[in-house]
Structure 1
Amino acid sequence: MTTALLLMDFQNGFAARYAELAPGVIPAARRALDAARAGAIPVVFVRVGFREGFPEASARNKAFGAIKDSPLGPLLVESAEASQVVADLAPRPGEPIVVKRRVGAFASDLDVVLRGLGATELVLAGVATSGVVLSTVRHAADQDFGLTVLADACADQDAEVHRVLLEKVFPRQAEVVTVEEWVSGLSPEAVSRG
């Protein structure tokens, strides 16, 4: 059984907005990242990005159909600085970065990366709770992954939606814990080095 930590959508272009709503979200994600690295737990970074011209953005897609002409568009071009992982969570060489083309993390080659790692247990952190986290929980549960959601390493623009997902929806398919609760369950070496 191998656990992997997924850090999702912590991107320059919009992570700061979530950090304003939940100031502890990036530090909590950083704590999880440090503990995973110290405990030799694989870390996978997931970010959303589109090719120049947005060929993946169908006009029929309500979320992304109008992205080409949206002020958000330039933030989501996969080569743009705005779509890169925030510096506080910077990937190290050899840590996979998966670029997805839709809301959920599995709208990418994530499944191939996870199979390569032998991952059967996923620990999820990300913004937004009602976006990438929800979509990824649902897909991963249907694929029989064991799931843990790090409540304080997730944030959403709607506090009530965030609360309902963490308290009522996610517990049906995942363990929902704080970063410190997760870290305390790791080996003593990982806790002390993390």
Structure 2
Amino acid sequence: MTKQALLVMDVQKAIVDRFTGDDGYLPRLRGAIDAATGAGVPVIYVVIGFRPGFPEISTRNKIFNATRSAGGFSGDAMEVPADVAPRPGDIVVTKKRVSAFAGSDLEMVLRAGEIDSLVLTGIATSGVVLSTLRQAADLDFALTVLSDGCLDGDPEVHRVLTEKVFPHQADVVTVDEWVKSVS
């Protein structure tokens, strides 16, 4: 029997604020979180975070060094928005790179919970979702991507990934379709 977990990845205020074009995103995500909780599916939040002074960020890392230089990793900007915030009992994993597995203890948490199937949501489709999907597939997890539970700054990139790339390694469904399957 499969045991799945819902991953809510990089849904932090500073990141969500860059994607203001989809006002329905957080309510849809809340629907997936509520359905998971109601069905006894663990909800695991994956957030990006660093120590004071950012010793984990190399000057050679273009993405994270630029964000650090712009002050993008500070204060409450890195908190999960209240609309979808973790509840007591939800697990929060802190990562240090793009993939949810990179620099985190996510794999250990999943293996300890005997989880073998992941449901992926997050921002951005071409970032954390793509990187995590590829690594999770290589680790032999069964995968589902909630297409409208992911956002990307480029709608065409999101479409190509969810319609053409992800289906090679994952089932791709909408939040509503997944909610019906776990209810």
Paired residue secondary structure (1:150): strand
Per-residue CA deviation, residues 27-62 of structure 1 (Å, 9 max, x unaligned), is 111110000000010010011111111100011212
Give 1:82 shift.
1.1
Identity %: 55
Rounded Cα–Cα distance in structure 2 between residues aligned with 1:16 and 1:60: 26
**CA shift digits 1:50-85 (9 cap, x unpaired):** 11111000112121234432232xxx24xx211111
Q: Which amino acid aligns with 2:171?
A: E
2:89 to 72, 94, 110: 94
2:41 maps to 1:41? yes
Q: List structure 1 runs of 4+ shifted beyond 6 angstroms.
A: none
2:158 maps to 1:158: no
Q: Does 1:84 align with 2:85?
A: no
1:145 aligns with 2:146: no
CA distance in 1, matches of 2:9, 2:39: 20
Paired residue secondary structure (1:44): strand
Note if contact 1:57-1:67 (Cα within 8 Å) is conserved in structure 2.
no
Cα RMSD over matched residues? 1.2
> 2:64 corresponds to which residue?
64
- The alignment partner of 1:64 has SS state of helix
Please report the TM-score for the alignment, with normalisation by the length of structure 1.
0.89
The aligned residue for residue 165 of structure 2 is 169
Aligned-pair distance for 1:86? 1.1
Alpha-carbon distance in 2 for matches of 1:159, 1:165: 10
Alignment gaps of 5+ in structure 2? none
* Aligned partner of 2:113 among 114, 117, 124: 117
Q: Structure 1 stretches of 5 or more lacking a match?
A: none
Paired residues in the alignment total 181
Query: What is the CA-CA distance between 1:95 and the residue it aligns to?
Result: 1.1
Per the TM alignment, residue 156 of structure 1 is displaced from its structure 2 partner at its CA by 0.5
Taking the aligned partners of 1:8 and 1:144, their CA distance within structure 2 comes to 19
Give the match for residue 11 of structure 1. 12
- Native 8 Å contact 1:126 1:133 kept in 2: yes
Residues 130-175 of structure 1: CA distance to partner in whole angstroms, max 9, x if unpaired? 1100000000001000000001111001111111000111001000
1:29 aligned partner, one-letter code = L
Could you tell me how far apart the structure 1 residues matched to 2:34 and 2:161 are? Answer: 26
